[in-house]
Amino acid sequence: MTAMQGPAARPLSELIEGFWVTQLIGTAVALGLPEQLAGGARVYEEIARSCESDPGCVLRVLRALQTIGVCRSSDGSSFELTERGSVLRRDVPGSISGRAAFISGIMWNLYGQLRSVVRTGRPLPAGREGFDNLADDPGLAGMHRAIIESSIRIIEDAACVHDFARYSRVLDVGGGYGGALATLLRKYPGMSGSVLDLRYLAGDSSAYLRESGVADRAEFIPGDFFESVPGGYDCYLLKYIIHDWGDQEALQILRRCASAAGPNSHILLLERVMPDRLDESPEHQAIMEIDLAMMTTGGRERTEAEYRSLLAAAGLRMTEVTATASPCSVIGAVRTA
């Protein structure tokens, strides 16, 4: 390696070797180490007993976590959580525990298939059957914790640029546990709404809505948005739904929403908008990270022009594309007739 190659290769090598941190943090979350350390310093043997794991291996994991600033130790055998590590606890505001579980589990497996998808041009067996199969996926809880975590941030940011106070009844289409809806209902006491998603989520969603203190104004509706979407709402909210699907499926979902919407209803997509031109910024890297993951399952991120065309084909007219502080934009639409 020449002197010219050394400096150029070093930052790329750091990206290549980032896999170990993803799995290290995912393992820590799976073992509950952030919760184990929440009360202060503890010796590693005690932590290992609490999480029913091998003491020597737990020590090595804790040492590794120490090198990335998640915990610290003054004597090499007892460890305490740092401020950085505290956001990995499930029970704190702003937690990213679910995201860590989701990225190190389901997303990790999707990226493991990227090479095959690119070579063949065929996505993994997913689609509607794939979402049904998630009912038995051990990563389901982590995925929905990640969705709730992102929903809270995204809706709060969206509310800074879009007037949600105008809506009295909101349908969270494909909303999972209902993180987006619960966030809106806490913010707007006069609002009520429903979550529409597959039947196997009914129990967990209802429990989450109760825990969020909004069950008196919210309900879970079991259903399939490819088959039908209930009417009677003045806002149909689809957060990170359309990007899960190819154009044919996305068009079917939007047409169901358009059919259900009244003449004064608004359909709101909360989605990343693919830039017309890409650069090396972290923001553009982030959208391509998701786009490649979506490619493995048959979905995609879209440009503003592509969203406008898709909405028009569904009988909808785009009314706004408003960026937020989060990675997503508010894409508004109304019926054309």
Q: Based on the domain organization, do 42 and 173 belong to the same domain?
A: no
- Which among 65, 86, 107 is the end of a domain? 86
Q: Based on the domain organization, do 163 and 80 belong to the same domain?
A: no
- Which among 86, 116, 137 is the end of a domain? 86
Residue 140 lies in a domain: no
Whether the predicted model's global pTM rises above the 0.85 cut: no
Show the domain range for 26.
5-86
Q: Based on the domain organization, do 188 and 311 belong to the same domain?
A: yes
Catalytic site includes residue 243 = yes
Total of domains in the chain: 2
Alpha-carbon distance of 220 to 232, in angstroms, equals 15
Residue 75 lies in a domain: yes
Q: Based on the domain organization, do 154 and 283 belong to the same domain?
A: yes
Indicate the DSSP class of residue 226: T
Task: State which of 10-14, 134-138, 272-276 shows the largest mean pLDDT.
Answer: 272-276
CATH of residue 37: 1.10.10.10
pLDDT at 17: 87
Which residue in 144, 243, 266, 284 is the catalytic one? 243
Residue 106 lies in a domain: no
Residue 132 lies in a domain: no
Q: Quick one: 97 exposed, middle or buried, by C-beta within 10 A (0-12, 13-18, 19+)? A: buried
Cβ neighbours, 10 Å, residue 336: 11
pLDDT at 2: 42
228 Rama class: left (phi>0) / alpha (psi -120 to 50) / beta = beta
Q: Based on the domain organization, do 82 and 194 belong to the same domain?
A: no
Q: Based on the domain organization, do 73 and 161 belong to the same domain?
A: no
pLDDT digits (tens, 9 = 90+) for 178-230: 999 999 999 999 999 999 999 999 999 999 999 999 999 999 999 999 999 99
Average pLDDT, the chain: 90
pLDDT digits (tens, 9 = 90+) for 5-53: 567 787 888 888 889 999 999 999 999 999 999 989 999 999 999 999 9
Kindly state the tokens that stand for 3: 């002197």
- DSSP labels for 96-136? -HHHHHHIIIIIHHHHHTHHHHHHH----S-HHHHHHHGGG
Q: Based on the domain organization, do 14 and 163 belong to the same domain?
A: no
